[in-house]
Amino acid sequence: MDRRDKLIRSGLALATELDLPVVLQRIVELAVELTNATYGALGVLGSNGSIEEFITVGVTDEERVAIGDPPVGHGILGLLIRESKPMRIPRIGDHADSYGFPPNHPPMTSFLGAPVMARGNVFGNIYLTDKRDASEFNEDDEEALVVLAVQAGTAIENVSLHRANERLALLEDRERIAKELHDGVIQALFAVGMGLEGTSMVATDPQVSERINGAVEELDHVIRDLRNYIFGLRPGVLADRELDTALRTLGEEFQAKTGVVTITEIESETAAQLASVATDVVQLTREALSNVGRHAHATTCRVSLRHEAGAAVLEIDDDGSGFEPSTVRRGDGLANLEARATDLGGKASVSSDPGRGTTVRIDLPR
């Protein structure tokens, strides 16, 4: 089989593979096969332009361990990164940019490299050394490698598009489930709870009324949990600045349910900076508001999110009855707040005085 046929077959092989690690490994193997190189590698570039992943052929796992850390892009590898064009070198050691090899590295002489373009940018570079049947690589080798690099870029872009389609399908399915939960299940549970509250008001037996109120409280917990699940199903809903909207909506819902006047003061920029942990911030706020509704006997409540001394500060305070922190048993609510805040790398604290309300403060890294 001549080289042209091999290139056609390599293009077909790369086009049908949708697993990125497999594609990257196959690219290096094909490059070595097409040019009859002894060693081959693909350096995947990170956002800072240095090599963040290094896939090799011809070097054993034991040799890689003995060599140590993979290259980041110095010497000739760095030159190829900077110039982003094919490069042939008869003797690596004679080149002005040669950086030398680390201890335990196999000796290498001739070099051939080419960039791999994907989605309009340099994705990485193919590096080949030591042609088996000649002292150096020739023009035909370079031409074949350039064609393979184009095929590789197309294959990588194909994998990226396939992954994007899979993510889109998953998000659409999650959105459908979330909508059904919110518009169907939650509304039905809410209606049941309202009906039970009405029954409790006309019940003549205090024990029956107490049991009904307990059932209503459990329904509230179920509704809260379902809404938390919905926020988890809808990662896009809380992206960027929409944490702002989610917290304001939470305040409105709390006010409508409890009659406690709830003010929300949200800095949009701070909310945007917490987009990656938005679901946790909403759950922290929900837990704190739940404690206000159960224990505070408050008439007003405030939810604020602001920037302060390099951190994001979430604060929920009320004008309720308050308590003496040192004499009150710590319940699950406060423990949950502290644990969730700690998981986010932050800290939760509670300050309160009898008759002067309570403030829950959560400091979070931005």
Q: For residue 262, what are the β-bridge partners?
A: 301
Task: Choose which CATH entry (1.10.3720.10, 3.30.450.40, 3.90.600.10, 3.90.580.10) describes domain 3-164.
Answer: 3.30.450.40
Q: What is the pLDDT of residue 1?
A: 61
* Strand, helix or coil for residue 107: coil
CB of 241 within 8 A of CB of 271?
A: yes
User: What pTM, to 2 d.p., does this model score?
Assistant: 0.49
Name the strand (E) or helix (H) holding 139.
Answer: helix 139-180
Q: Backbone phi, then psi, for 112, in 5-degree steps? A: -145, 130
Q: Give tens-digit pLDDT for 197-210.
A: 777 777 778 888 78
The rounded percent of the chain whose pLDDT value lies above 70 is 90
What's the rounded Cα separation, in Å, for the pair 238 and 344? 17
Largest CA distance in the chain: 100
* Per-domain residue ranges of the chain: 3-164, 237-366
pLDDT at 239 (0 to 100): 41
Give whole-number Cα distances, 160 to 17, 18, 153, 330, in Å: 12, 9, 11, 49
Identical fold, 3-164 and 237-366:
no
Instruction: State the Cα angle at 221 between 219 and 226, rounded to 5°.
Output: 95
The two tokens of residue 155 are: 């294959």
Per residue in 1-45, pLDDT (tens digit) is 677 777 777 777 777 777 888 888 999 999 999 999 999 999 888
- Mean pLDDT check: name the lowest of 60-69, 184-193, 308-317, 322-331: 322-331
- 314/270 Cα distance (integer angstroms): 10
* pLDDT tens digits along 82-127: 888 999 999 998 888 887 788 888 889 999 999 998 767 888 899 9
Look at residue 241 in the predicted model and tell me its pLDDT: 44
Least confident of 74-83, 135-144, 269-278: 269-278
Which residue, 302, 232, 242, is CA-closest to 273? 242
pLDDT tens-digit map of 290-332: 888 888 899 999 999 999 877 899 999 999 998 887 766 555 5
> Which of 130-144, 161-175, 217-231 has maximum average pLDDT?
130-144
Question: Over the chain, what is the mean pLDDT?
Answer: 83
Q: What are the pLDDT digits (tens) for 213-262?
A: 788 778 777 776 776 666 655 544 444 446 888 888 888 888 888 889 99
Q: Rounded distance, CA 186 to CA 4, Å?
A: 62
pLDDT of residue 227: 67
Question: Does 265 or 161 have the greater pLDDT score?
Answer: 265
Superfamily of domain 237-366: Histidine kinase-like ATPase, C-terminal domain (3.30.565.10)
**Rounded Cα distance, 54 and 169, in Å:** 31
- Close Cβ partners of 119 (under 8 Å, ≥ 6 residues apart): 157, 160
pLDDT at 238: 41
